[in-house]
Amino acid sequence: MMDQKVFELLNQQINKEFYSAYLYLDFSNYFNSKGLDGFANWYMIQAQEERDHAMLFYKYLQNEGKSVVLEAVPKPDKVFENGMEVLKAGLEHEEYVTSLINNIYSAAQEVRDYRTMQFLDWFVKEQGEEETNANGLISKMELFGSDPRSLYMLNQELAARTYSPPSLVL
């Protein structure tokens, strides 16, 4: 039987993942309004990934015999002056999500919920990749963002990204 605290944290994570999707849609919207369709594509795919992450938590809880409680998803409220602010907000958000995953993992570890810990292993790895990607975007923008030709090439690189659903099997 799943510990109540672990259940509550997992259930809350569903909402956090949906919020992440909303946030990344907002980022995509920002870049689209600036004519940077590649950056918009990057964050549109990020939003798709976050929705899938929410559904993985959802399905895991259902598979564990738990009834999921869905909450309202808050509206993103940040206003950005430039693209670098968006990229830094993305990194900050990924670091926040990492802290949430680590917190759930710690709670599961405390009660020796090995099944949940195993489920979360994929998310721990995923968050490492997400932070690396966010840092990489910031580095590239710092190097190339002020040069229009380089920014164009970076935008083209991001436009080529395609979506691959997570391969985590529940």
> What domains are there in the chain, each with its CATH number?
4-69+77-159 (1.20.1260.10)
pTM higher than the cut 0.85: yes
**Cβ atoms < 10 Å from Cβ of 126:** 20
Task: Give the pLDDT confidence of 100-134 residue by residue, as tens digits.
Answer: 999 999 999 999 999 999 999 999 999 999 999 99
Does pLDDT of 167 surpass 90? no
Q: Which pLDDT tens digit goes with each residue over 76-85? A: 999 999 999 9
Q: Which residue has the tokens 């195993």?
A: 118
112: left (phi over 0), alpha (psi -120 to 50) or beta: left
Mean pLDDT of 138-167: 92
CA-closest candidate to residue 35, choices 164, 156, 129, 125: 156
CA–chain centroid gap for 163, Å, is 14
